[in-house]
Amino acid sequence: MEWVVVFKEGAMQEVFDWTMKWKAEYGLENVLVKKERKEIGVRNKRTHQERLMRNKPGHQTRIVDRERIYTWMQGIKHWNNQRRYNLLTCKEKEDGRINCDYIWLVSNGLLLCRETVEELSEKGGRCRWKQENEGFNTQKNGGYGLEHCYCRDPAAMKIWNRVLEIAYFISQLITRGSLVAKEIYGSVINIAHRMFEHFRYFVFKKPLTPKKIQIRLCWDTS
């Protein structure tokens, strides 16, 4: 089994210190630099009066220079000499300012070279951070209460987690799907308020002849 593990100081301190020491003494780094110029959208801030009048914010565009620096090392020996692993880093700069800095441990079976490091970084390592930020972080801090101790029974904990995930999936279908047009309500928060009011004042009844519908997800890939 091959793997890519996020490697940050403090999580595995002994392994981190050993790897950095080995890198300083024996490592021969390989470097790959990727540069791109991209046009991105910029949303103008609204004044308090514009918010009261519900004026839509203006949008402009600007050019950013983005640079990604990949470095990697192969065949790092573990201190017990029973296994080897690889090290992959990615430092991203935007307009000369460091935007993010990643370090991953990579299994020795995955080949690191100029043709593979970018794909391993983007589709392997950084996707894990995307899952953490857009998935678990939302469930922790977005009102779902993932870290709350709802019960002490292990089986009940699993059930609570499944119910929480179902609620999160329904939220994704509503906010990112084609079932509800966000432009009509203005924002996701307004959609939630409308749904809450419907649950308070309306009785939902199953139709005698339910219509077949299809919800299409609209992901923002920018």
pLDDT in tens, 93-111: 888 888 888 888 888 888 8
Q: What is the gyration radius of the CA atoms in the chain, in angstroms?
A: 24
Residues 4 and 125 sit within 8 Å (Cβ to Cβ): yes
25 half-sphere exposure, CB direction, 13 A CA radius: 8
Instruction: Name residue 36's beta-bridge partners.
Output: 66
88 close to 75: Cβ distance less than 8 angstroms: no
- Which structure tokens are listed for 149? 């101790």
Q: Which residues contact 113 (CB under 8 A, 6 or more apart)?
A: 30
Instruction: Say yes or no to pLDDT of 68 above 70.
Output: yes
Cβ atoms 149, 139 nearer than 8 A: no
Check residue 220 and give its pLDDT: 54
What average pLDDT does this structure show over 194-203?
Answer: 81
pLDDT at position 222: 44
Q: Please indicate, yes or no, whether the overall pTM of this predicted structure exceeds 0.85.
A: no
Tens of pLDDT, residue by residue over 129-159, are 666 667 777 888 877 888 888 888 888 888 9
Q: What angle do the packed helices 154-176 and 188-201 form, to 10 degrees?
A: 110
Average pLDDT of the chain to the nearest whole number: 79
- Look at 176 and 111; give whichever has higher pLDDT: 111
| pLDDT tens string 34-52 | 898 888 777 777 777 776 6
